[in-house]
Amino acid sequence: MNARHVLRFLTTRVATVVLVLAVVSFLTYAVFVLLPANPAAAACGKPCTPERLATAQAFMGLDKGPLQQWWDFVVGIFTGRTFGTGAAAIHCPAPCLGYSFQLREPVTTLIAARFPVTASIAIGAAILWLVIGVFAGTVAAVRRGTALDRGLMVAAVTGVSAPSYLVGLLGILLFGFTLDMVPVSGYVPFATSPVDWAWHLVLPWCVLALLSAAIYARLTRAQMIEALGSDYARTARAKGLPERRVVTRHALRNVTIPIITLFGLDLGVLLGGAVITEKVFSMPGMGALLLDAVSTTDLPLVVGITVFSAALIVVANLVVDLVYGVLDPRVRA
């Protein structure tokens, strides 16, 4: 692989990302802006005279056409925006994802305050689910046909079928209330106390991870069985390598590739799962912010969070693609 190939690979991928983000933000904007729930009407107060409504709309930039509104939004991400003029003007510094007139805060600030919670849940759970899934799948494949294999696979089907919030609540009931081992709700920032941070996240991580791990265990098992029966595995055995080394060095590396592909597709699921987990464990993350914004019809906040999550997934997918390129020499050609 030479530098020109890398550059071309990167340029195409980044161009796709930018295109996807533009389309996603436009669609989000179109769906939400074309709705009759007018944020200006909510901010206008009572009695709401037509003049006051018009002033509020102009202040929020809602008097322009839909395309112009979207463009203002996109430009605001890079340059910041100012709503209104004169003494009453509100400045929303770049990267501006909109302004919540109900909470009187830029959407970016609101998201930044909540995002560490969601990221803590999602990243910890993702690591745990990949480790457990690949490990369980490998064990089942190596011990194929034994009671251990059957037990793991029955557990996997059960895991796939159980909704995460249900398992989460039962987990709280058992480990939180009955055994009094872990905290049942809340979040402690990492900076305050790393130990308390992890202690509060143990149960959410396990709940979110175990359910998705089930799918990965099944995939790993199937792939591993195929890999262990392949010619290169036989060659490795023939040259006298112990089975353990054949599994870890030769088979596992090939199994990683479909796992990473699936993981890239599951990033959205991971984020959705984090939203549900936040609700179960009463954690003040981005999902909780979204649910609040939805119940108060805070449209700029809803749009901002939606576009931000889409961007997050698209960028994370780009990272997964790059990792993929490192792992699998064939895609680099």
Partner 1 sequence: MTLDHADELVAAPSSPGAARPARRETWWRVLRRDRFAFTGLLVVVGYVVVALTAPLFLGWLGVDPYTYHLDALDENGAPAGWGGGISAEHWFGVEPLTGRDLFAIVVMGSRASLAVGLGATAVAVLVGATLGVLAGYAGGWVDVLVSRIVDVLLGFPALVFMIALGAIIPLRFPHSPRILILVLVIGLFGWTSIARVVRAQSLTLRSLGFVRASRGLGAGSGHIVLRHVLPNLAATVVVFATISVPGAIGSEAALSFLGVGVQPPTPSWGRSIGDAVTWFSSDPMYLVFPGLALFGITLAFNAFGDGLRDALDPRAVRR
Asked whether position 35 contacts partner 1 by CB under 8 A, the answer is yes
Q: Which residue has the tokens 């991928």?
A: 13
- By DSSP bridging, strand 99-100 and strand 105-106 are antiparallel
Kindly state whether residue 309 participates in binding partner 1, applying the rule CB under 8 A: yes
Of 142-161, binders to partner 1 (CB under 8 A) are 157-158, 160-161
Q: What does the block give as tokens for 182?
A: 């872990």
CB of 167 to partner 1, least distance (A): 9
Question: Rounded to an integer, what distance in angstroms lies between the CA atom of residue 94 and that of residue 41?
Answer: 26
CB of 201 to partner 1, least distance (A): 19
Q: Which stretch binds partner 1 (CB under 8 A): 105-113, 232-240, 299-307, 322-330?
A: 299-307
- Residues 310 to 329 in contact with partner 1, rule: CB under 8 A: 310, 312-314, 317
Q: Is 120 exposed, middle or buried (0-12, 13-18, 19+ CB in 10 A)?
A: buried
For position 305 contacting partner 1 by CB under 8 A, the verdict is: yes
Is position 262 an interface residue for partner 1 (rule: CB under 8 A)?
Answer: no
CB 69 within 8 A of CB 83: no
Interacting residue with partner 1 among 76, 171, 264, 285 (CB under 8 A): 264
**C-alpha 252: how far from chain center:** 26
Q: What is the DSSP letter of 99?
A: E
Residue 42 CB, shortest distance to partner 1, in Å, is 12
H or E element that contains 100:
strand 99-100
Candidates 42, 169, 241, 257: give the one binding partner 1 (CB under 8 A): 169
Should residue 15 be labelled a site residue for partner 1 when binding is judged by CB under 8 A?
no
163 CA to centre of own chain? 18
> CB within 8 A of 14, min separation 6: which ones?
318
* Binding flag, residue 177, partner 1 (CB under 8 A): yes
Query: How many residues at the interface with partner 1, by CB under 8 A?
Result: 50
For partner 1, the closer CB: 236 or 287 = 287
Q: Choose which of 166, 181, 195, 331 interacts with partner 1 (CB under 8 A).
A: 166
Comparison of 126 and 236: residue with beta carbon closer to partner 1: 126
Q: Which of 297, 323, 324, 328 binds partner 1 (CB under 8 A)?
A: 297
How many CB atoms lie under 10 A from the CB of residue 240?
A: 7
Answer whether 287's CB lies under 8 Å from 122's CB.
no
Stretch that binds partner 1, among 43-51, 250-258, 263-271, 323-331 (CB under 8 A): 263-271
DSSP sequence for 76-95: HHHH-EEESSGGG-EEE-SS
Interaction of residue 163 with partner 1, rule CB under 8 A: yes
Q: Helix (H) and strand (E) counts for the chain?
A: 14, 4
284 binds partner 1 (CB under 8 A): no
Cα-flanking dihedrals φ and ψ of residue 100, to 5°? -85, 105
Which of 236, 278 has the CB closer to partner 1? 278
Task: Tell me the C-alpha to C-alpha distance, in Å, between residue 121 and each of 53, 96, 165, 269, 286.
Answer: 42, 25, 14, 13, 11
**Residue with token string 């990033």:** 267
**Contact footprint for partner 1 (CB under 8 A):** 20, 23-24, 28, 31-32, 35-37, 157-158, 160-163, 165-166, 169-170, 172-173, 177, 264-265, 267-269, 271-273, 275-276, 279-280, 287, 290-291, 294-295, 297, 299, 302, 305-306, 309-310, 312-314, 317
